[in-house]
Every structure is written in structure tokens, then in C-alpha cells.
Structure 1
Amino acid sequence: MAAASGARRLRGPDELEIVAFERGHFTSYSACGIPYWVGGDVDGPDELVARTPEQHRERGIALRMRTEVTELDLERQRVRARDLESGEESWTGYDKLVLATGARPLRPALPGIDAPGVHGVQTLDDGRELLDALAAAEGRRAVVVGAGYIGVEMAEALLKRGYEVTVLDRGEQPMSTLDPDMGRLVREAMDGLGITTVGGAEVTRILTGDDGRVRAVATTEEEYPADVVVLGLGVAPETSLARAAGLPLGEYGGLLTDLSMRVRGREDVWAGGDCVEVLDLVSGRERHIALGTHANKHGQVIGANVAGGYGTFPGVVGTAVSKVCSLEIARTGLREKDARAAGLRFVTATVEATSRAGYYPGAAPMTVKVLAERRTGRLLGAQIVGREGAAKRVDIAAVALTAGMTVEQLVALDLGYAPPFSPVWDPVQVAARKAVSAVRAAGG
């Protein structure tokens, strides 16, 4: 809908007809806010909706809700869609086609995975169903499968709802988007909050009771009792329509586009959001990163281009932040294994610091890790785990990565300082300074 709204801003209804299909009940909402709705931090679902279907229609967008596109006919420039309420199917022609099919949650084909009491959290409907289930559950035991962003955020939400929470993850440490040494800090903090975190846990089946509802989650080693199970196993690009139509897909199954977000090899098809792969500006490789920030930017670029304007999306550095209760988690750029996969030789530097001057009230601890290219000193990545004031500091490193800066240049940045906001040396610069020494010691 960002693409549709962007195009409408440039071209009126008499100049450009816009038809949009949505199979769900809501438009333009923040899926990222669902864990905070479940946890009671925000009201929902209305609070999470930026623009309703009626508001889109008032702007001259022919929005067809509860309508699923089932086939793309690229040669005849048309799409087949089915009304999910009536079952009626029809074809709609186009001059320009925008694919924004998003991503689908990973849901392994395990015995019992579809049992009542097992929930995903991708849509507002999912959030509503989970809240209803939490209210109706007789017990207070929850198992979260997966310890990525959604997993840890849902663990916090369930803890706030008064549940006894167990998180099961295949990795030895939670948050596989971090290096294991930084993930260990997240695990220690979660354990301290009373969340049981089990690493190296391979889920084999969901066990049910006589009533058919979930009663436990089984791994290769143990069974974990559960009244509610939440799946947080990540997502994959939803590109089944594109694949069937023969559009180009990348290593991760996402659509491949050029800088204008036009699908490669097609003059009349654009794609954006979680269904595409994007260029990683640090490694130079295509990646699939499902984030609302990217999706909104893609939409703005696509809207401008389909309406006759001009826009480009150059790529990403992989910046993301999250939290579990008072612990803030952030990363940008490459992890150690990413750097190795890209064939880069690198050094690392890890420091412990505080969010404010140590003597100022409220100074909170944080750990900052920096990766730098061994020969050049080019910044490759940064990770931060800490308390209040930690996570958004990763934006300093994100800007430096985008600019292709070295850790030495990062140390020289003129950042703001006052005791209530930072030590004299910002923690990111302290880590960068240590990385400079590591680069020099490595000797190229």
C-alpha cells in the first residue's frame, strides 16, 4: 500500500487507475507491533493500523479486501483473483504490476503442528487468536519455538501475561542474528528474567491431549509441558505466484529486482517488501531481510517509478534492533560467519561500557562488538547488547557502514557528548578504537 499511496500522490485518479488486492482483513498495519499488543504495551488491533481500507478508497485506490490473487498471466498482462467470501473468480488486466506478497512464517511439517493451541504471529488476525487463546487457557505454561526476534519478543509478551515461559531453539544461543558470544549475553539476561531458554533443542513433535489440544512440545531429548505454543521460527519469501509465473528468484527464494525495484527481465513488473532479496552493501551479496523499514522504502520507490517518476533503492547493511524486557539488542553489518562466507579476513573487538557517564544517575551497562577488515580496517559490522540507551547506538555504525568508513574514521567522528547522554568516548567509538589496535596488530 506504500507503493499504491506513493503512486497516487504523483498521479490523480483520472491519470492512473490503481487496483489493489488483499486477502486479509486489514491493510497498512504494523506486524512488528503484534508482540507488544500481546504483551499489553499497546492496544490493538486498531492502534496498529496506519490506514484503513476505507481511507485508501477515499484516496482513489480500488482496494479489494478478502481477495486472493491465485495466478499471474504475464504474457496477457492479467491476474486471476478469488473472492474469499463468495468464491467467485475473475481476471483483472494491468499495464504495470506490483508484487508485494510478503513472507510466510516457517511452519515445519511436524506431527501436531496444526493442533489447537499452536499459534503463529504474523498478522493481526494471528494476534487476536493468540490473545483469545491466552484468555481461555486453563494453565499458565507457554513454549516458544525459536529464539530470533519474534521468539524473544513473544517470550517477553507471554511473561508479561503471567505465563511460565520456555524458549526452545536449535542454536546453542538465542538470537542467531548475533555472534554466539553476544547471543550468550541475551541468554543470560533471559534466564535472569525467569525465562527458561533451552539451546540445541530440536523440536520433533507437538504432543496433544485427549481433547486434541496441545499439551507439550517434544524435542529429541525431553518433553516440555505447554498450554500454549507460539512459533517464532522466522519467515521465507512468499513467492509461489512469482515462481509459477517463471519470474527470477534468488538463493533465498526471493524475487530479484534492479535498483528501481523492477523485477529483472520484466519491463512491466515491480516487487518490494519481504518477497524480494536485496543487495547487502557490506558483502556485495543478495540477502533476504524481512523488515518493515525496507518494505516501506521499497514501496516509495516503486510508487514513484510506476507513476512516471524516478526512485532507487541502493541496498541495506542489515540493521535491526529488538528487546526482551529491559535488555536491548542491536546489530548491523556482518557477523563473523557472514564475513567468512564472503571470504573476508577480519579482526574483532569487544568492550564493556555504559550508556552515560559512569557517575551520572541511570548509567546502564552495554557490551559492544565490532568487526573490521584485517587489511584495510574497513568497518564490517557491529553488535550491541545492553540496557536502556544501548540499541539505537547501532545507528552510528549503520551510517558508517553505508559510507564505507574504516574503524579509524569511526573513532574520529564528532559525536554529541554530555554526561546524561554518553561517556566522553561513546561506547561504539571505544569498540572501534580497540578494533583499530587489532587491525594494526594483525599487520594486514
Structure 2
Amino acid sequence: MAAAERLVVIGGDAAGMSAASQARRLKGPDELEIVAFERGHFTSYSACGIPYWVGGAVQDRDDLIARTPEEHRARNISLRVRTEVTAIDVAGGRVRSRDLESGAESWTGFDKLVVATGARPVRPALPGIDAPGVHGVQTLDDGQALIDTLERTKGRHAVVVGAGYIGVEMAEALVGRGYEVTVLNRGEQPMSTLDPDMGRLVHDAMNGMGITTVSGAEVTKILTGDDGRVRAVATDGETYPADVVVLGIGVEPETALAREAGLPVGSSGGLVTDLSMRVAGHENIWAGGDCVEVLDLVSGRRRHIALGTHANKHGQVIGSNVGGGYATFPGVVGTAVSKVCDLEIARTGLREKDARAEGLRFVTATIESTSRAGYYPGASPMTVKMTAERRTGRLLGVQIVGREGAGKRVDIAAVALTARMTVEQMTALDLGYAPPFSPVWDPVLVAARKAVTAVRKGGA
């Protein structure tokens, strides 16, 4: 009987362990040995849930864990936690790892390899950036470290650097902890994934919640006290007191290991794969999750988008192909939804600047509506902005800012984008209606009707 092949997985979260689990469903241990390495303490957890754990909406850290190391091992996956892979020898078909507790190093051979190293928080090289009390939040270990700091800290001033998804979610978490929160954003408006006019709505709403939101603020240094801990954050013109600092500047694909091994990296810094998630030019190496680029189905370009939804799908595709099946990941339209306190923020497709960069001529339509029929109790306002190609009317993007019931409406647009619908076709969509759920004309369809008019007029 032939010896079992060995699959090595680098990374124990969504993409890596989804791949390992799916491969195991298709092949038993007699056919495929699976060895997975994770440098942290935890596996298969929801990183997207960390802000809600920090803020107290999720009470128990273990609620964020879908499958523990012990559960993976019970499925015949040899999982080694607190073990970091330090080198990939592509030609030799092996990886070098280091036990982070003992420091011991060893080599492990592979027949097939999955790279799922994720992303790392952007940490600019500023004076004081590594001071105690300054936190990036990407893993459960990071979340636990931040919670430990919050529980030890006597002062109540918090500064969040950056106002993207991570920044606004962490601002909410800190407000929930009773902190006085200042968000410093070097951009024109918070949420750079939105157009500035929609970002302005987020800015105004955050300030209305008591979160001081400062735009055009370039952080120059982190100031520390005599004890070495953070005490303030300085910009070009101001100094903001801080007992804790959270970095919400964004993330970058963690591809240093892959680069050193000579694996191909694209312009956005993510690994380049084909539709089967196989690394370009390497028959027996796959990659998925936050360390890869994905195809943007609207622009046709490859982008880095770090989302757990993509990572889990990548893992399923990889595991199917490693296990002898067949699956592909066709791409994304760039859908994301978030919230800060009771404000919901959603977007999909291209912003105006993206459309310009692609050389597209476009029109936009912005409308204000409500989440339910105006007469029904609890109806809340929302703003919908739609972008369409000027000549064809093809939908290019949608952004939504509003209260309860606003965010998930972006899924209508995500489906329309994937189907390459025009805004005129969207107006005929048979969406569910009842006064508790929407006006007679859903806000997304109202925006589509206005966009149709703009297309017919030829746009600005």
C-alpha cells in the first residue's frame, strides 16, 4: 500500500483550517496526512468578532472560536499551536518551524502545501509606536492583550489611529468600555472605502455619538510618560491625551515568508493564485485568506481584500482541490458592511475614484429614504448612493449609510453587480415588501430609478 501524501498548512485560522477540514472530509488519514502550524494559541476563530468581544457585546472569548485545536486533532489533523513556520523550501518540499515555547526548530516535509498566513495590522514606524498601551488588533491574542490593558488602565482617554472598518469598530468598542474616544484620521473623511460625501455622514454621526473624529490628522509620534507607557498621541498641530491607543490603520498581507521562498506576489502585496487558489507557477502549493489577491469582478483588476467570508470560501476551494475534487473561486465585488454604535455602513463595487482610475465615465445618484414605511413605528433614515456607467447604465457601485435595516440592503446591490445588471434592470427586481420591512419602493430601488434618469440625461 502506498504511503499517505502529506499536506502541510501554514496558518490555523479561517482559510487554513477550512482547507484542512475540507481535505480531510474527502480523504482519510490513510490517504492524506495533514499537519498544520499556528503561531498563536487559537484556531478557527472569528477575527471579525474581536471588536464586539472587546466592547462587551460578546461576553466570552470562546464564543468566537468555531473549532478548537483539540477538535481539529480529533479529526486526524496534526495541529501544532504556538509553532511558527520560519522558512519554506519550495525545491526541497519542506518547511522549517520553531516552537515558540521551547525555541526548538525542525523541518517537516510536504507533498502539498497551503499558505494561509493572513494579514498583519499596519504599524507605521513612528517614535513610541511600540510603547506599552499601543495595540494592533488582528488575532485573539491581540484582543486578549488589549482587554488586559483596558482592565488595568485607570485613565479613560483612548485614541484610535485610523478610521477604516477596524478603526470605527474599535471606537465603538472603547465607547462601550466607558472611554472618552478620539479617532485620528489622516484622510478627508472616515471610511475611505466610501466616497467623501458618504464618509461625511459617518463623520457627523460619530461626532453626534460623542466620538471626537478628527480628519486630516497625520500622527507624528506616540508620547510616553516616565514609566514608558503611552500618555498622548501627537499630530502636526495637536496633542491628544491617551491612556490606550488602538491602531486601526488597516492591514497588509502577511507574505514575507512566501516572498523569501520566491512565491509570486502581486502589486497589492498579496500572493497570486489561479481560480483554483493554486499559487501561480506551483503545482502543489495553494494559498488563501488575507494573504492573497482576489479578482475584482467589477474592475477586472486584482486586489487585496481582507475578509473572513472570502477566507472561508478560499479554504473550501483549496480543500476540495487538495482532496481530489474540483472547485474554483471566481472573484468578488468588494462588499463590506460595518457599524459604529447604531450607525450602519455598507458598500459594494467601485467608488467614484475607482471608476475614474479605470477610465470609466459614470453618473451617480444619491437618495434619502427610510428603512420601513414612513408611517410604521421605528422607521429610520438612510442614504443610498449609486454609481452607474454613463453609456450602458451598468451598475458600478452602491454605498449605504443609515440606522437599523440599512446595512444588509447592500446585498441587493452585490447580487446585481455579480450579475452585471444595469440600473434599469434593477428597478424591476421583485423585492419583498411589507410596511415593517421597507417602503413600497425599497431605498435601493429608489436610488436605481434616480440613476436611470441620470443615465438617460447623459450625466455630468
SS at match of 1:338: helix
Residue 153 of structure 1 corresponds to which residue in structure 2? 169
> How many correspondences in the alignment?
444
Residue 406 of structure 1 corresponds to which residue in structure 2? 422
Structure 1 counterpart of 2:192, from 172, 176, 191: 176
SS at match of 2:356: helix
| Aligned residues of 1:101 and 1:274 also touching (Cα < 8 A) | yes
Cα shift at 1:134 = 1.1
Mapped to 1, the partners of 2:88 and 2:141 lie a distance apart of: 26
Mapped to 1, the partners of 2:364 and 2:393 lie a distance apart of: 11
Residue 116 of structure 1 corresponds to which residue in structure 2? 132
1:342-361 pair list within 5 angstroms? 342-361=358-377
Partner AA of 2:94 in structure 1: R
After superposition, the C-alpha distances for 1:124-163 in whole angstroms (9 at most, x for unaligned) are: 1111111111111121000000000010011011111111
After superposition, the C-alpha distances for 1:284-320 in whole angstroms (9 at most, x for unaligned) are: 0000000000000000000000011000000000000
Question: 2:433 matched to 1:426?
Answer: no
Question: 2:298 matched to 1:282?
Answer: yes
Moved over 6 A (4+): none
Residue 89 of structure 2 corresponds to which residue in structure 1? 73
Residue 146 of structure 2 corresponds to which residue in structure 1? 130
Mapped to 1, the partners of 2:56 and 2:234 lie a distance apart of: 29
| Aligned residues of 2:344 and 2:403 also touching (Cα < 8 A) | yes
SS at match of 1:184: helix
Residue 393 of structure 2 corresponds to which residue in structure 1? 377
Cα shift at 1:245 = 1.1
1:25-424 pair list within 5 angstroms? 25-424=41-440
CA distance 1:91–1:374, shift in 2 (3 Å): same
SS at match of 1:275: coil
Partner AA of 2:273 in structure 1: T
Mapped to 2, the partners of 1:317 and 1:411 lie a distance apart of: 20
After superposition, the C-alpha distances for 1:353-407 in whole angstroms (9 at most, x for unaligned) are: 0011101111110000000000100000000000000000000000000000000
Residue 6 of structure 2 corresponds to which residue in structure 1? none
Cα shift at 1:120 = 1.1
| Aligned residues of 2:385 and 2:399 also touching (Cα < 8 A) | yes
Partner AA of 1:343 in structure 2: G
| Aligned residues of 2:85 and 2:95 also touching (Cα < 8 A) | yes
Residue 35 of structure 2 corresponds to which residue in structure 1? 19
Partner AA of 2:85 in structure 1: V
CA distance 1:307–1:419, shift in 2 (3 Å): same
SS at match of 2:138: coil
Residue 8 of structure 2 corresponds to which residue in structure 1? none
After superposition, the C-alpha distances for 1:172-192 in whole angstroms (9 at most, x for unaligned) are: 210001000000000100000
Partner AA of 2:262 in structure 1: G
SS at match of 2:233: strand
SS at match of 1:439: helix
After superposition, the C-alpha distances for 1:86-142 in whole angstroms (9 at most, x for unaligned) are: 111111111110000000110001000000111111111111111111111121000
Mapped to 2, the partners of 1:258 and 1:128 lie a distance apart of: 36
Q: TM-score, with normalisation over the residues of structure 2?
A: 0.96
CA distance 1:173–1:443, shift in 2 (3 Å): closer
| Aligned residues of 2:363 and 2:459 also touching (Cα < 8 A) | no
SS at match of 2:154: coil
Partner AA of 1:442 in structure 2: G
Residue 14 of structure 2 corresponds to which residue in structure 1? none
SS at match of 2:88: strand
Identity of aligned residues (%): 82
Mapped to 2, the partners of 1:126 and 1:80 lie a distance apart of: 25
Partner AA of 2:416 in structure 1: A
Cα shift at 1:443 = 7.1
RMSD: 0.8
Mapped to 1, the partners of 2:440 and 2:401 lie a distance apart of: 20
Gaps of 5+ in 2: 1-16
CA distance 1:225–1:409, shift in 2 (3 Å): same
Mapped to 1, the partners of 2:264 and 2:136 lie a distance apart of: 29
After superposition, the C-alpha distances for 1:204-239 in whole angstroms (9 at most, x for unaligned) are: 000001111111000011100011111101001000
Cα shift at 1:26 = 0.2
SS at match of 1:173: coil
Mapped to 2, the partners of 1:135 and 1:241 lie a distance apart of: 35
Question: 2:455 matched to 1:439?
Answer: yes
Mapped to 2, the partners of 1:328 and 1:60 lie a distance apart of: 42
Mapped to 1, the partners of 2:445 and 2:336 lie a distance apart of: 19
| Aligned residues of 1:168 and 1:199 also touching (Cα < 8 A) | yes
Mapped to 2, the partners of 1:69 and 1:126 lie a distance apart of: 19
| Aligned residues of 1:375 and 1:443 also touching (Cα < 8 A) | no
SS at match of 1:273: coil
Partner AA of 2:318 in structure 1: I
Cα shift at 1:76 = 1.1
Gaps of 5+ in 1: none
